[in-house]
Structure 1
Amino acid sequence: MRKASLRLIGILFILAIYAINGYAELNIKNSSKLFGTVKSAQGEALTGVNIIISGNNFFKGTVSDIDGKYEITTIPSGEYILKATFIGFKPIEIPITIDGNQDYKTNLNLNTDNFKLEDIQVNGKSILTKISEAPFEVAAVSTAKIQNSTTDVKAILNKVSGVRIQEEGGLGSNSTFSLNGFSGDQVKFFLDGIPIDNYGSSFSLGDIPVNMIERIEVYKGVVPVWLGTDALGGAVNIITNKKSKLLDFSYSYGSFNTHRASVNGTFTNEETGFMLKANAFYNYSDNNYKVNAPITNSNGNIVNYQDVERFHDRYKSGTVKIEAGVTNKSYADKLLFGIMGSANDKQVQTGVTMRTVYGGIVTNSQSFTPSIKYSKKDLFTEGLDISFSAAYNSSESQVIDTLKGITYNWLGERFVSTTSNGQVSEDGENYRTFTTLNDDDISSQLNLGYQINKTSSVSLNYAYNYFHRKAFDKEHPDEISNLFPNALNKHILGFAYQLNLNKKWNTTVFGKMYHLNTKASRVEDFALETQRTIEYRTNTNNWGYGIASAYFILPELQVKASYEHTYRLPKPEELFGDGLFIQANSDLGPEQSDNYNIGANYKYTFNSNHHIKIGGSYIYRNANDLIHTVAVFANPQTHFDNLSKTKAWGIEGNAEYNWKEIFHLSTNITYQKITDQAKRVYNESYTGTGWQRNFHYGFRVPNMPYLFGNINAGFSFNNVLLSASKLDFNYHLNYVDEYFLTWAEMGSNNEDYVIPQQTSHDIELSYSLKNGKYNISAECRNLLDAKLYDKFYLQKPGRAFYIKLRYNL
């Protein structure tokens, strides 16, 4: 099954390249191309600007994209007029001479043209500005300036204030996303509005290349209804490239034998509306970086600590995603049918901590996902908009631990483990298993919006998710728990009313309904003579609600406030485990939280060249039944449990300065505190059941950074050595203060239970030719080779070097 899946993905990869190459050859034959960037006088890229070239009985137009870029192709020789128009800006007309088979770059700058229409002031704004000025606390990050870097989604998000991604190792390692104190699935992830969970475990954040992405939206705390999610602490929506015509190839190579390749393309026939989109990427790494690890002897006793090379951590993955359909039709603004195939193959080096090391455990996963997307504005009547998406994911994953009686230490030495009677042990390295998990996942989302009048609108969202797992263990074919169903049904219904009385103030009020139905197994009367496994069902209904409001005190100063009473339903991995290190817990209940956000943003431009942005926010979370990871330092396994009552509060701030397009400097810092607030907890076990004193009361939840920040700086120079070239230099600093690995009172006197303060430095140099058509970049991560740690004191890679080649048409 796995080999067949990999072959099919390889075939799809080749088809994607052929399809995109066909588009490339078509473009090469074009006579002339006119392209450039449209910006405001303040240097902000403008999206949606109408650009038309006309003359000599020739007329053609386009609109600028998210980065302000435009492109008009197949222009014959002659004299033309280039015209740009945009609401809120003065139109401009420029004479253009086209001569022969050449590319012409013309950048456009529009000046603001404020005017009043029924006492409402209209100003043109970019999409990023519109998103950031929404009443929700949201950060929008464009990838326009980092397309040449070797970064991925995780690295981009780690530079957003309030965000911390804890990784278990190098490329392909498991990670935990934290946003303002909430982590894991308390923060939901979407790809173009579709939950990423639906794509299977072989499609992860660390695999997605930056060249596939247009922007990332990070919603903190309160989440808009249209995302249709049960997030507790926020959501992340990754927006892929929306250009109607695109061709982008990239390949990077770096330390630890790391290879990353991607191809992204879009072709749109402007006459027929036919659209073809293809994305394909491949990742590989040996992950053989050095770590300081405990060396054990054949008895499992630690004899010393040494710097050793990871020897069983190879990772490879591949994904192909193809969509085809039509755009700009009377019955649909966009109708796309898609298919995605992905697979990964991973060696497992450690458990939850570095105390245990493995040399034979492997996991793999393959998934195929057909999908449909539909959207239409002004459906049946003006002001009624609809969007619908649905996807079905069929995935198969395996957990293989079949080395009987063998253990390893960090030197890669093999030891034979025996039983008390001298026989070779039948146990695996962790737990002897060859488990195959077959998962079926259906997800759909419907959004309806209606503009009642100029100031009022309503929206309705319905999201549905179905999950079913079938498990079989070749090593334990009679495993009782595998004979019981693992299934989940989730329904989320949301309604919102938005009021925009004027351009200064807008408010949204909303309500949500959450329904969860699960089927699983659980052990009753553990360790007693009556111990048994039974089928266990849950059926819960919850209601959430909230409000978000934003107001411009000054044209440059906006304040925001939002509140939400929300729920987060357990996900399959938390309920059913992963077949390896995460144990099942069918008793998990929904999390609930009251989220408060207060923030302000200020931006100012002076002398037309200096641009300043300053922002900050205060967050407060009062959560019950918070789902968190339970781990024992010397135990490779973990499970999820509910904390009956927790409280989180924090502050974050960010500042940004830009001088022309030459220099930029930005920084952000986050302080957060999340503590256990339950004075008493209910303990249910065979040794004693009842309410007991909570010894963790008032202490910080462990394994969660509380003070961290970033600094980013860079220079850009045009026409260096050659015309139409660009040289970029960027520097990034990341800081994390020390924090506790376990509950503070248990580890405060033992440095082994404290993750130390960390500072890392990254630098990057890139050079582009022919206005970004050919690109080369070099990057050094962790320049000073600092020892960096994350989840449960797991060590991350040291100094690493990467080089990337990119072709962009």
Structure 2
Amino acid sequence: MFNGKNLLLILLSVITFSAFAQNQSTISGYVKDGTEIIAGASVLVKGTQNGATTNSQGYFELKNLKAGSYTLVVSYLGYVRESKTVTIQANDNQKLDFKLRRNQEQLNDVAVQGKTKTQEIKESGFAVNAIDTKKFANTTADLNQILNRSTGIRIREQGGLGSDFKFSINGLSGKQVKFFIDGIPMDVMGSAMSLNNIPVNLADRLEVYKGVVPVQLGADAMGGAVNVVTNQKAKNYLDVSHSYGSFNTNRSSLSGQYVDQKTGIIVKGSGFFNASDNNYTMKGVDVINGGTRIGNYIVDLNGAEFATADVKRFHDHYKSVLGQVEVGITNKSWADVLFIGGGYNETNQDLQTGFDQNIVYGEVTRASKAVSGTLRYKKNDLFTKGLNLSAFFARSRDKYKTTDTVQRNYNWDGTYFDKGYSEMGGIKAVAHIIRPRTYGMANLSYVINDQHSLNLNYTLDRLKNENYNELLTDHDDMPGRLNKQIVGIAYQQDLLDKHLVNTFFGKLYHLGLDRPKYINNVYTQMDTTFSNYGYGAATRYKITRDLGVKASYEHAYRLQEAEEMFGDGLNLQGNPDLKPESSDNINLGAFYTLTVGKSTFFVEASGFYRNAKDFIFPVPDERSKLLKNRNQSSVRITGFETEVRYSYDQLLSLNLNLTYQNAINTTKNGSTESYNVEGTYLNKIPNQPWLFGNADFSIGKNNLLGKDTRLQFNWFTQYVNWFYLTWEGKGNPNGKSDIPTQLIHNASLSYSLQNGRYNISAECRNLTDELAFDNFRLQKPGRSFSVKLRYFIQ
């Protein structure tokens, strides 16, 4: 029956619901610095304890507010505090965005009193290094040299400026590591856009993900990824520099941006020029004495004998140039960012050696050209609040030409004698590789609330490979094709007042492959498809504000690349039988920050585990004297790394790191190919360093030599323990089965005027002129000097 008690219950329910409904108003929005989001900004309701912190997307949300007027105060270290007043009605949802301005007076104290952006990234759930490049801006270093100082990273270059290099993160290397610039694959821009060409001035920050890679990069990066973050701020600036150094090395860079405040139109451009003779001294290499000669031509080898000598490299000139321009608009109702761009780059290179320095070239050359067109778009709150879209599209065309047309055998002293085949071991060739490429990426994120968010990423990468010798034909009858598609989805939780952050993700990998192959002595086009799923998770728990632990795991796949399948026209043969490789990657780590007065200590330690299947790595082919990638059935990598950083005010800083990694062959049954692995079970993988570390010290003083000046000295030392060049269980007929321990020192001195507008620096690398080796025991440059001039205004 409907009685008075029921009526009372209904009335109380209505009153309760009405009171609750009146508290359902919200205020939400984004906090940015121009077009760049600010994560971790504090948003407080003035006069109350109510507030929020912006998440990784720069988004905040204040819930359960009553109708009325509120003043929101937003603050973030290094920025001017900003406040806005808003009036809301019952059941109202108000959007309120903030754009903060940098506080120049606070910037010098950021490293002491708060967390920088790089520090926040390092304290995420992923195993990641974050490097602020600003302190290296006045050095002559390229990005490779900066990254080579970081924990867990080892970069092995084959020579001087422009030489090929092998990038390793925690024991996985080569194509297992992917490179990005602002989240876009670097190789989309052309062959000159590589870490050893990009000057440090073009980067604001470097992010290095180890083993476990977030889905927004859209990558099949089994070993990790490097993301170069450039200046994204909507303000005018110009950065111009030039350096000159030993071996006639010239390096120039330019980047700048112009913003029209009335129309919102932005024009940004960047470029660089690199050139070097690379004529450094090779120590103790083989030369030929005696014989009958006409100039450098050895007519008759009778009476000739080998000896050792110190000689200069004579065929190693290198030149690269790149230019990029983007034009677009920002902060429109229909687009937060819309840019259209174009780029051009080219390289010209003499080749001095093959993969082994006993293989000497005297006339082989390589040239490349690339053009690209790009389109970028970004819109936050697309259709609904919290739904954000970013998209990128690129069309590029890379062309390579390798000229190998003399039938000579060169020696390190520049002499040569005739042989029945070309320098690289085959017929005479002017080899062309043409690779048109289409790349598209879309990233959709949805902020459900300040504790939960979703991310969906789709990447399409299509490439065609044409390869032919113009002395025989003018086209490729059977070009190869790669068609990659990667879909990733991630769910993130920010729990326990952001002390606990969890990210769960999954990835779908698909590869369509057309490649030519000899079958029963007939050249046949083979079609292959591959699809599989990857998955993983990353978590971080902050025990206190400055002490935290983190862990991450990913079951990842890495799809074959064009160079591995079709060759590079130089030292690497194609292998159409390669299979995708996979790995289970685990990272466990902890970090701690301690601030005492003007001193800041940061300690981080982590362990890692990689279990790779169908591991792809290059090995020498005894018949062709070239490298060829093969699938090693199973490789296990374990290790640990640690880093200690100390800074005192803006006066001095010290960074020490050490990495140990043990990469071993866990395949019990060996291959029957010429470079077999019989008897190498549990052997270390050859030609990979297993213990290395760095020490980086800097001391600098403001206003020491006048107002608005800074004088700074940097010292950098790198240690690499000896490592095996070949399988440790097998002998080497040359008796050179390992690469010796190396200790290299570098020093630089820089002076800045007018708050960094004018800068000059001098630098010495390999200060003690040590004999330095790298990939496959190739000698690197000895002692070198350089000076750099830089002009920067904003």
Q: TM-score, normalised to structure 2's length?
A: 0.84
Q: Secondary structure at the match of 1:130?
A: helix
CA RMSD of aligned residues (A): 2.6
Residue in structure 2 matched with residue 276 of structure 1 by the alignment: 267
What is the Cα deviation at residue 395 of structure 1? 1.7
Give 1:324's aligned amino acid: V
Residue in structure 2 matched with residue 646 of structure 1 by the alignment: 635
Once the two structures are overlaid, the 10-residue window that deviates more, 467-476 or 760-769, is 467-476
Give 1:487's aligned amino acid: R
Residue in structure 2 matched with residue 743 of structure 1 by the alignment: 727
How far apart, CA to CA, are the structure 2 residues paired with 1:782 and 1:111?
33
Residue in structure 2 matched with residue 610 of structure 1 by the alignment: 599
Residue in structure 2 matched with residue 759 of structure 1 by the alignment: 743
Match of 1:630 among 619, 629, 633: 619
How far apart, CA to CA, are the structure 2 residues paired with 1:454 and 1:718?
41
How far apart, CA to CA, are the structure 1 residues paired with 2:416 and 2:625?
19
Gaps of 5+ in 1: 1-37, 39-45, 51-83, 94-103, 113-122, 418-424, 526-530
Question: For residues 575 and 671 of structure 1, do their structure 2 counterparts lie closer, same or farther at Cα, with a shift above 3 Å needed?
Answer: same
Residue in structure 2 matched with residue 107 of structure 1 by the alignment: 105
What is the Cα deviation at residue 593 of structure 1? 0.4
Q: Deviations over 1:497-547 (max 9, x none)?
A: 11111311010111000000111111234xxxxx22221221111110011
Q: Deviations over 1:550-580 (max 9, x none)?
A: 0011221110011110100010000000122
Matches within 5 A, 1:254-265: 254-265=245-256
How far apart, CA to CA, are the structure 1 residues paired with 2:529 and 2:390?
29
What is the Cα deviation at residue 428 of structure 1? 4.5
Residue in structure 1 matched with residue 682 of structure 2 by the alignment: 698
Residue in structure 2 matched with residue 289 of structure 1 by the alignment: 280
Matched pairs, number = 692
Q: Deviations over 1:600-623 (max 9, x none)?
A: 11101012x110000011000111
1:494 aligns with 2:488: yes
Q: Secondary structure at the match of 1:226?
A: helix
**Is the CA contact (8 Å cut-off) linking 1:740 and 1:747 kept in structure 2?**
no
**Is the CA contact (8 Å cut-off) linking 2:79 and 2:106 kept in structure 1?**
no
How far apart, CA to CA, are the structure 2 residues paired with 1:349 and 1:377?
51
Residue in structure 1 matched with residue 3 of structure 2 by the alignment: none
Residue in structure 1 matched with residue 463 of structure 2 by the alignment: 467
Q: Secondary structure at the match of 1:205?
A: coil
1:306 aligns with 2:309: yes
What is the Cα deviation at residue 426 of structure 1? 5.6
Give 2:453's aligned amino acid: S
Match of 2:182 among 167, 170, 192: 192
What is the Cα deviation at residue 200 of structure 1? 2.2
Question: For residues 367 and 350 of structure 1, do their structure 2 counterparts lie closer, same or farther at Cα, with a shift above 3 Å needed?
Answer: same
Residue in structure 1 matched with residue 697 of structure 2 by the alignment: 713
1:351 aligns with 2:354: yes
How far apart, CA to CA, are the structure 1 residues paired with 2:603 and 2:148?
19
Q: Deviations over 1:411-464 (max 9, x none)?
A: 0013223xxxxxxx4644533210111110111111000011221111100011
**Is the CA contact (8 Å cut-off) linking 1:275 and 1:325 kept in structure 2?**
yes
Gaps of 5+ in 2: 1-32, 43-72, 83-101, 290-297
Matches within 5 A, 1:140-539: 140-243=130-233, 244-292=235-283, 293-296=285-288, 303-403=306-406, 405-417=407-419, 425=420, 427-431=422-426, 432-477=428-473, 482-502=476-496, 503-525=498-520, 531-539=521-529
How far apart, CA to CA, are the structure 2 residues paired with 1:652 and 1:159?
13
Q: TM-score, normalised to structure 1's length?
A: 0.82
**Is the CA contact (8 Å cut-off) linking 1:294 and 1:304 kept in structure 2?**
yes
Residue in structure 2 matched with residue 799 of structure 1 by the alignment: 783
Question: For residues 295 and 722 of structure 1, do their structure 2 counterparts lie closer, same or farther at Cα, with a shift above 3 Å needed?
Answer: same
Match of 1:768 among 744, 749, 752: 752
How far apart, CA to CA, are the structure 1 residues paired with 2:164 and 2:487?
31
How far apart, CA to CA, are the structure 1 residues paired with 2:533 and 2:491?
17
Q: Secondary structure at the match of 1:789?
A: coil
What is the Cα deviation at residue 161 of structure 1? 0.5
Q: Secondary structure at the match of 1:752?
A: coil
What is the Cα deviation at residue 483 of structure 1? 2.5
What is the Cα deviation at residue 697 of structure 1? 0.9
**Is the CA contact (8 Å cut-off) linking 1:747 and 1:754 kept in structure 2?**
no
How far apart, CA to CA, are the structure 2 residues paired with 1:570 and 1:124?
43
Q: Secondary structure at the match of 2:736?
A: helix
How far apart, CA to CA, are the structure 2 residues paired with 1:90 and 1:111?
12
Give 2:757's aligned amino acid: K
Give 2:203's aligned amino acid: I
Question: For residues 682 and 311 of structure 1, do their structure 2 counterparts lie closer, same or farther at Cα, with a shift above 3 Å needed?
Answer: closer
How far apart, CA to CA, are the structure 2 residues paired with 1:559 and 1:784?
40
What is the Cα deviation at residue 469 of structure 1? 1.5
Question: For residues 433 and 336 of structure 1, do their structure 2 counterparts lie closer, same or farther at Cα, with a shift above 3 Å needed?
Answer: same
Question: For residues 416 and 682 of structure 1, do their structure 2 counterparts lie closer, same or farther at Cα, with a shift above 3 Å needed?
Answer: closer
How far apart, CA to CA, are the structure 1 residues paired with 2:108 and 2:712?
26
Q: Secondary structure at the match of 1:211?
A: helix
How far apart, CA to CA, are the structure 2 residues paired with 1:739 and 1:90?
48
How far apart, CA to CA, are the structure 2 residues paired with 1:647 and 1:698?
9
Give 2:170's aligned amino acid: N
Q: Secondary structure at the match of 2:729?
A: helix
| Larger Rg over CA atoms | 2
**Is the CA contact (8 Å cut-off) linking 1:91 and 1:110 kept in structure 2?**
no
**Is the CA contact (8 Å cut-off) linking 1:90 and 1:111 kept in structure 2?**
no
Q: Secondary structure at the match of 2:730?
A: helix
Residue in structure 2 matched with residue 115 of structure 1 by the alignment: none
**Is the CA contact (8 Å cut-off) linking 2:78 and 2:104 kept in structure 1?**
no
Residue in structure 2 matched with residue 659 of structure 1 by the alignment: 648
What is the Cα deviation at residue 332 of structure 1? 1.0
Once the two structures are overlaid, the 10-residue window that deviates more, 346-355 or 516-525, is 516-525
What is the Cα deviation at residue 668 of structure 1? 0.4
Q: Secondary structure at the match of 1:311?
A: coil
Residue in structure 2 matched with residue 134 of structure 1 by the alignment: 124
What is the Cα deviation at residue 312 of structure 1? 0.1
What is the Cα deviation at residue 766 of structure 1? 0.3
What is the Cα deviation at residue 88 of structure 1? 7.9
Question: For residues 632 and 785 of structure 1, do their structure 2 counterparts lie closer, same or farther at Cα, with a shift above 3 Å needed?
Answer: farther
**Is the CA contact (8 Å cut-off) linking 1:377 and 1:383 kept in structure 2?**
yes
How far apart, CA to CA, are the structure 2 residues paired with 1:88 and 1:205?
31
Q: Secondary structure at the match of 1:744?
A: coil
How far apart, CA to CA, are the structure 2 residues paired with 1:273 and 1:124?
33
How far apart, CA to CA, are the structure 1 residues paired with 2:585 and 2:783?
39
Q: Secondary structure at the match of 1:488?
A: strand
**Is the CA contact (8 Å cut-off) linking 1:256 and 1:288 kept in structure 2?**
yes
Q: Deviations over 1:335-357 (max 9, x none)?
A: 11110100000000000101110
**Is the CA contact (8 Å cut-off) linking 2:77 and 2:106 kept in structure 1?**
no
What is the Cα deviation at residue 680 of structure 1? 1.0
Residue in structure 2 matched with residue 10 of structure 1 by the alignment: none
**Is the CA contact (8 Å cut-off) linking 2:621 and 2:628 kept in structure 1?**
no
What is the Cα deviation at residue 635 of structure 1? 6.1
How far apart, CA to CA, are the structure 1 residues paired with 2:314 and 2:78?
60
1:620 aligns with 2:616: no
How far apart, CA to CA, are the structure 1 residues paired with 2:75 and 2:208?
28
Q: Secondary structure at the match of 1:483?
A: coil
What is the Cα deviation at residue 633 of structure 1? 7.8
What is the Cα deviation at residue 726 of structure 1? 0.5
Give 2:714's aligned amino acid: N
**Is the CA contact (8 Å cut-off) linking 2:266 and 2:327 kept in structure 1?**
yes
What is the Cα deviation at residue 133 of structure 1? 1.8
What is the Cα deviation at residue 470 of structure 1? 1.6
Question: For residues 558 and 786 of structure 1, do their structure 2 counterparts lie closer, same or farther at Cα, with a shift above 3 Å needed?
Answer: same
What is the Cα deviation at residue 268 of structure 1? 1.2
